[in-house]
Amino acid sequence: RMAVPGGAVLDTAAVTQVGVRADHTRRGLLSALMRAQLDDLAPRGEVLAALHASEARIYGRFGYGVATRAREVRVRRSGRGFRPTAPAEGTVRLLTPDEIRSVPAALHDRIALQRPGMITRGETWFRPPADWAKRDDRSVLVAVHTGSEGEDGFVVATAARGHAARPLSVEDMHADSPRAAAALWRFLLDVDLIAEVTAWGRPLDEPLDLLLADPRGLTVTAVEDELWLRLVDVPAALAARSFGDVDPVLLGVHDPLLEGNAGVYRIADGTAERVEPLGGPVAPQIECDVAALAMAYLGDRRPAELAATGWWTVHDPAALERADAAFATPVVPWCGTMF
């Protein structure tokens, strides 16, 4: 299940392991597979579908668009550490092997839906960390932060075994608040025999540089697409999402694969509903296909950005300004879960 702007949680198909055998490529099998899946999802009540793409050029033709982005970071471990006024609350403890699976699983699904794009996992997702703890080639630490109201964050990190200074790699980290996240980062940077801490798939708005005494110790090594989203049921998806309180915007949506999604949608007063079929007497002020709509749906991209780069078509410039206000979200969307 996935959180969307406004706090609603929607049933979502987590699409993974898509592939065609090497001796059967270029025969249209992938297209047939993806289309059959889309036809199967709507009757099951899955309003959205999401995936992580191995190649960026594959999934747009099936209506998927980049809905969240994430960054990779590297933080040098130095004696300067955190700023003196940076939050320093609560305690961090390492979990025992028996806790590695159950404690993060329960904690994640309690705090998972606090920002758009985040999804629930369940305990079975945490099998890999439990298995990592048994490996001989890497040291694994799984830690939990406890604040004034109980456990509110966890981190999974690994490092190559050995005595020389080496990088500590953050594999998974979630926290219920910026203060809990700060405590987990402080803990990681205090681990001995570590040269630096690296992390991938982190949210774009994580204020790590504001915590460090030396902000130049943080290097953003990449910003990449994270979650690709497909609106399987556009009327239901738009009805579930909250919008800014604006004067009406008439948005035309095209969907060649699921034609029932096509139409003119009226966005106004915080809600959206379909009011006309495409080609009817009510003309849209803005138009896009379903993949371009996915790019704005969680709040990652502004309609004005998408219009300026050719993803959205604008017939009424004043409506574009209202669309920006309607789709704006107070927090950057992020998934934070690989599947």
Tell me which of 62, 265, 297, 339 is the catalytic residue. 339
**126-131, long-range: CB within 8 Å, 24+ apart, which pairs?**
126/100, 126/101, 126/102, 127/101, 129/100, 129/101, 129/104, 129/156, 129/171, 129/172, 130/97, 130/100, 130/101
**Chain segment 31-72, per-residue pLDDT in tens:** 999 999 999 998 899 999 999 999 999 999 999 999 999 999
d(CA 87, CA 217): 18
d(CA 73, CA 320): 34
Cβ neighbour number for residue 17 with a 10 Å cutoff:
6
User: pTM for the whole thing?
Assistant: 0.92
Q: Please give the pLDDT value at position 135.
A: 66
Q: Which residues fall within 8 angstroms of residue 119, CB to CB, at 6 or more apart? A: 1, 2, 3, 12, 14, 50, 112, 335, 337
Q: Please give the pLDDT value at position 166.
A: 87
Q: Please give the pLDDT value at position 130.
A: 62
Active site residue 265: no
Q: Please give the pLDDT value at position 132.
A: 64
d(CA 311, CA 308): 8
pLDDT under 70: residue ranges of the chain = 79, 128-130, 132-136
- For every residue of 224-288, DSSP letters joined together read EE--EEEESSHHHHHHHS-----S-EEEEEE-SSSGGG-EEEEEETTEEEEEE-TTSSS--SEEE
d(CA 295, CA 293): 5
Q: Which two tokens stand for residue 222?
A: 């990449």
Tell me which of 59, 62, 82, 327 is the catalytic residue. 59
**Chain segment 73-95, per-residue pLDDT in tens:** 999 987 678 999 999 999 999 99
Domains annotated on the chain, with CATH:
2-68+227-327 (3.30.1050.10), 69-224 (3.40.630.30)
Active site residue 59: yes
